[in-house]
Amino acid sequence: MDFRFTPEEEAFRQEVKAFLDQEVPPGPARRRFLGEAVSPEDWAAARELSRKLSRKGWLTMAWPKEYGGQGRSVMEQMIMGEELAYRGVGGVDYMGIRMVGPIIIRFGTEEQKRTHLPRIARGEVIWCEGFSEPGSGSDLASLQTQAVADGDYYIINGQKVWTSGAHRADWCFMMARTDPNAPKHRGISFILVDMKTPGLTVRPIINMLKAHEFNEVFFDNVRVPRTNLVGEENRGWYVGAALLDYERSGIEAPATARRILEELVEYARETKRGGRPLAEDPITRHKLARMAVEIEVGRLLAYRVGWMQSRGLAPNIEASIIKLHNSELQQRLANLGMELLGPLGQLVPDSPWAPLHGRFASMYMASVNSTIAAGTSEVQRQIIAQRGLGLPRGA
């Protein structure tokens, strides 16, 4: 791959930066776009910014024009995602744009494309993912939620858990068992569900940050049109596996990490311990430098996947490599931040004494699930070992 961006791509990056400089103000008001605040007012402001991006055609610019895109390059789409993540812009429907949208383009019917893709491109809807269940996480193929055919409908019964954003979502893409007698990786179907369907209940899960991000979702005789089936019936495992590759291979994680590292570097310059700035301590300098290298590795891995997609290639082990690297990078960055901030790093954002707005106390706790969500680090290593290195399945 060519590591250089074209002049056109560089010009587009500057255009995006200029737009965000105007729309994402510095200072306290900027917090509403950092994904940290969850008040209705801040969510509404973030969603309005998403709609402004959609009016410029920037949310789905690499999609075909007939489905709301601009037919532009995958690299430009990644540049857009990188700049949004670096600024911490929330309210953007990443699950629609980067996950289910490409899956509908790849596997969906023409009716599904015409129905769902333009609405995602216009920023009108929010999607959530209905994969994990109380007894099915890493072993996702053991899921038990059932979808039973009844004429032109499926009747869905079961439960999903850890469903991020379900309380705000308009639609859910999910996997359900349509053939209970088939081997566990077969007999699963990939289905789109309107979150307003009768019989569907969302119950919040409050995490250790006292924040409402996760949810349980209950399906009680939920009737879904069979036209909402994506791909072939009983072969939804392969559709879901393809979606996981999109989920695991984004540019957002290293972009966010770069912004956080810059804040740490500035803190090290301004904060004195033992009569001298932290930035003059060789051990601190080496740790920050090592983190900069790790972030750049994650960025290049992500752009490698973008390059593959621009060539019509479907990444698989490459997505697992990115997921593994960036998940563990997030934890190492959180640990480094807590180490540099010392005891004050434990202060939460509401504390007037909290350095860096208390972000690292939140980040440290939030990073606990980074090596679990979207596939554990152990699962990623298994994929890399078996499919990438050709090693046998472990006992």
**291 and 336 Cβ atoms separated by less than 8 Å:** yes
Which distant-in-sequence residues (6+ apart) come within 8 Å of 350 by Cβ? 358
Phi-psi region of 191 (alpha: psi -120 to 50; beta: other; left: phi over 0): beta
Enter the tokens of residue 233: 């019936």
Which distant-in-sequence residues (6+ apart) come within 8 Å of 70 by Cβ? 57, 60, 61, 62, 63
Partners of residue 177 on adjacent β-strands: 146, 188
Partners of residue 159 on adjacent β-strands: 218
124: annotated active-site residue: no
Residue 141 identity (one-letter amino acid): A
**251 and 85 Cβ atoms separated by less than 8 Å:** yes
Catalytic residue among 36, 82, 129, 247: 247
Give CA–CA dist 231/108, Å, rounded.
Answer: 6
Give CA–CA dist 97/100, Å, rounded.
Answer: 7
Could you tell me the end-to-end alpha-carbon distance of the chain, in angstroms, rounded to an integer?
37
* 44: Cα separation from own chain's centroid: 20
**Catalytic positions, written as ranges:** 247
